Amino acid sequence: MKKEYLWGVLRIVMGWIFLWAFLDKLFGLGYSTKAGKSWLDGISPTAGFLKSTQGPFADFFHSIAGNVAVDWLFMLGLLLIGLALVLGIGVRIAAYSGSVLMVLLWFASMPIKTNPMVDDHIVYILALLTLASLGAGQYLGLGKWWKKQQFVKKNSILE
């Protein structure tokens, strides 16, 4: 198998992680979000997790938990990052945005129970930055077509 296909598959899998989180929180599919506890049921997608933080940044995360603007930014971020990665369009900005989100979730997860520094958030950040640096949207995605669009040529961050 060509390594380019592996980068394409990794990109799609990473996109599905974000997209699935969005769908589960939106509809309460019974995985991380129980049925009846979804955003569509009127439950904040950020309140439960952020109110339960205990680390050195707990006060900050508690203060933004359940904020409507934070909920919208979080959910739109999950949706747009996920779609961009799955489709292979805007991979660079999606990877950078996803990395910022992962850094915030990493800080909110402190103290990490399984390892003092590295958890899945750090692995996701490294995977996303690798995908951005490789232009992984062109493999098994719409990236080649996307890159030819005039507005993308003018704004390389959109590649």
- pLDDT surpassing 80 at residue 150: yes
Residue 114: what pLDDT? Answer: 86
| CB-CB neighbours of 52 under 10 Å | 12
Q: Report whether 64 contacts 56 (CB < 8 A).
A: no
Q: Report whether 12 contacts 86 (CB < 8 A).
A: yes
pLDDT per position as a tens digit, 70-111: 999 999 999 999 999 999 999 999 999 999 999 999 999 988
Confidence class of residue 60 from pLDDT cuts 50, 70 and 90?
Answer: very high
pLDDT per position as a tens digit, 14-53: 999 999 999 999 999 999 999 999 999 999 999 999 999 9
Residue 149: what pLDDT? Answer: 94
Amino acid letter for position 68: V
Confidence class of residue 117 from pLDDT cuts 50, 70 and 90?
Answer: confident
- pLDDT surpassing 90 at residue 112: no
For residues 123-143, give the mean pLDDT: 95
pTM, two decimal places: 0.94
Closest to 38 (Cα-Cα) out of 67, 75, 73: 75
- pLDDT surpassing 90 at residue 159: no
| CB-CB neighbours of 74 under 10 Å | 24
Q: Report whether 98 contacts 124 (CB < 8 A).
A: yes
Q: Residues for the chain: how many in total? A: 159
- pLDDT surpassing 80 at residue 135: yes
- pLDDT surpassing 90 at residue 156: no
DSSP code per residue over 23-51: HHHHHT-SSSS-TT-STTTT--TTHHHHH
- pLDDT surpassing 90 at residue 130: yes
